[in-house]
């Protein structure tokens, strides 16, 4: 996607030149990645480089860096993946690497900023995401951004010594007609 700005943020393609020691440290920090699937990997400069390259495959996956507009500080990434050209839907994952920037509304602002690209540039119908049931920040952020719960995958993730549900959510292009449900 082209560089875009929101009230406080700049969103642009995240490249291997953007990888910093701070970014790597955050990726290996369980207090940051502990409620995501990124927790299973040991992140090194090489694995992060491979991940960034794999995530920037036009038509398949895009990795978008979230930067503070004023200082250009990198605070997180959004990954769009599994683009489906027929069904016009894509999946979204988000992580803010800098804990000092959590709970300031940047997560919500960035996913709303991405919507403009997905709905108004790509003219897609639907953005899908999921989160661990105990990820309270994600639940709140997606709800504020207008996502609705579509379903629950029971005991989908093994976390420490127990299973947690995966909450599947989605947001639909408000300019598209919704399917009418009849009962």
Task: Give, as one character, the DSSP assignment of residue 72.
Answer: -
User: Scanning residues 104 to 163, which ones bind ligand COA (CB under 6 A)?
Assistant: 104-108, 131, 135-138, 140-141, 144
Answer whether 157's CB lies under 8 Å from 166's CB.
yes
Examine residue 13 and tell whether it contacts ligand COA (CB under 6 A): no
Minimum Å gap between C-beta 107 and ligand COA is: 2
Letters for 64-93 (x = contact with ligand COA by CB under 6 A, - = none) are: ------------x-----------------
Cβ–Cβ under 8 Å, residues 27 and 97: yes
Minimum Å gap between C-beta 104 and ligand COA is: 6
- Taking CB under 6 A as the criterion, the residue among 6, 28, 61, 102 binding ligand COA is 102
Which residue has 């207090």 as its token pair? 31
Half-sphere exposure of 25 (CA within 13 A, CB side): 6
Quick one: 163 or 176, whose CB is closer to ligand COA?
163
Q: In what order do the strands lie in the sheet with 126-132?
A: 4-5, 9-13, 61-68, 74-84, 89-96, 126-132, 162-172, 148-159
Q: Where along the sequence are the contacts to ligand COA (CB under 6 A)? A: 32, 35-36, 76, 94-96, 102-108, 131, 135-138, 140-141, 144
């Amino acid at each position: 996607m082209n560089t875009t700005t929101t009230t406080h943020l700049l969103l642009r393609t995240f490249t291997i030149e953007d990888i910093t020691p701070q970014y790597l440290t955050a990726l290996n920090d369980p207090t940051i990645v502990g409620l995501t699937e990124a927790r299973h990997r040991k992140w090194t400069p090489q694995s992060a480089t491979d991940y960034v390259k794999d995530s920037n495959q036009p038509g398949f996956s895009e990795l978008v860096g979230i930067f503070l507009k004023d200082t250009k500080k990198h605070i997180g990434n959004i990954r769009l993946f599994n683009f489906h050209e027929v069904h016009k839907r894509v999946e979204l994952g988000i992580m803010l690497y800098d804990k000092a920037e959590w709970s300031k509304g940047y997560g919500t602002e960035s996913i709303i900023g991405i919507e403009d690209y997905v709905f108004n540039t790509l003219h897609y119908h639907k953005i899908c995401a999921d989160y661990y049931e105990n990820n309270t920040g994600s639940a709140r952020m997606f709800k504020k951004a207008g996502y609705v719960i579509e379903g629950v995958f029971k005991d989908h993730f093994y976390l420490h010594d127990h299973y947690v549900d995966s909450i599947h959510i989605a947001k639909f292009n408000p300019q598209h007609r919704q399917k009418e449900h009849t009962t």
